[in-house]
A and B are shown apart, each in its own frame.
Chain A
Amino acid sequence: MTAAASAVFAGYGFRFVETPAVEEYHTLEAGAGASWENSAFRMVDLDGSLLALRPEMTLPIARLAASRLGDQPGPQRLCYAADVYREQASLRGEARQFTQVGVELLGANGPSSDAEVVCVLVDVLAAVGLRKFTVGMGTVAVLRALIEAAGAGDAWAAELLAAAHARNLVAFDRLACADGVEPAVGEALRRVVRIGGSREAIGECRRVADAVGCAGSLDALESTWELIEAAGVADRVRVDFGILRSFDYYTGLIVEAYAPGLGLPLGGGGRYDDVLASFGAPMPAAGFALSLERVMIALAAQDVAIPVRGLDAVVGGEPEQVARTAARLRAAGWTVRMSASRDVATLDAEAVSAGASWRVLAGQGQAVSADGRVLVLDPVPALPAEGGAR
Chain B
Amino acid sequence: MTAGRLRMAIPKGSLFEGSLRVLRAADVEIGALADPGRLLIVDTDEIRFIIGKPTDIPAYVAYGAADVAIAGADVLAEAALDVAELADLRFGACRFVVAEREGSSAEIADSYRRLGVVRVATKYPRITEAYFADRGVQVEIVKLHGNIELAPLIGLADQVVDITATGTTLRDNHLRIVDEVMASSARFVANPVAVRIDSQRVMDLAGRLARAAGEVE
Contact = CB atoms under 8 A, between A and B. Distances in A.
Interface of A: 132, 134, 136, 166-171, 173, 194, 196-197, 238, 240, 242-243, 256, 258-265
Contact of B62 (A238, A242, A263, A265): A263
Contacts of B206: 169
A238 B64 contact: no
A260 B194 CA distance: 8
Contacts of A197: 199
Contacts, number: 66
B64 A136 contact: no
B193 A264 contact: yes
Nearest to A301: B64
Contacts of A258: 193, 196-197
B192 interface: yes
- Dominant SS at the B interface? mixed
Interface in B72-106: 73, 82, 84-88
Query: Interface range on chain B: under 10, 10 to 19, 20 to 34, or 35 or more?
Result: 20 to 34
Interface string B176-210: 00000000000100011101110100010010000
Given A258-B193, A258-B196, A264 B1 contact: no
- The winner among B187, B191, B195 for most chain A CB atoms within 10 A is B195
Contact of B192 (A167, A170, A194, A259): A167
Nearest to B73: A170
A192 to B, nearest CB: 13
A264 B199 contact: no
B197 A169 contact: no
B39 interface: no
Contacts of B63: 263
B87 A256 contact: no
A194 B1 contact: no
B87 A167 contact: no
Nearest to A263: B64
Nearest to A196: B199
Given A132-B1, A169-B87, A170-B187, A264 B196 contact: no
- The winner among B1, B193, B199 for most chain A CB atoms within 10 A is B193
B85 A168 contact: yes
Given A196-B203, A263-B62, A263-B191, A134 B3 contact: no
A194 B203 contact: yes
B196 A238 contact: yes
Contacts of A263: 62-64, 82, 191-193
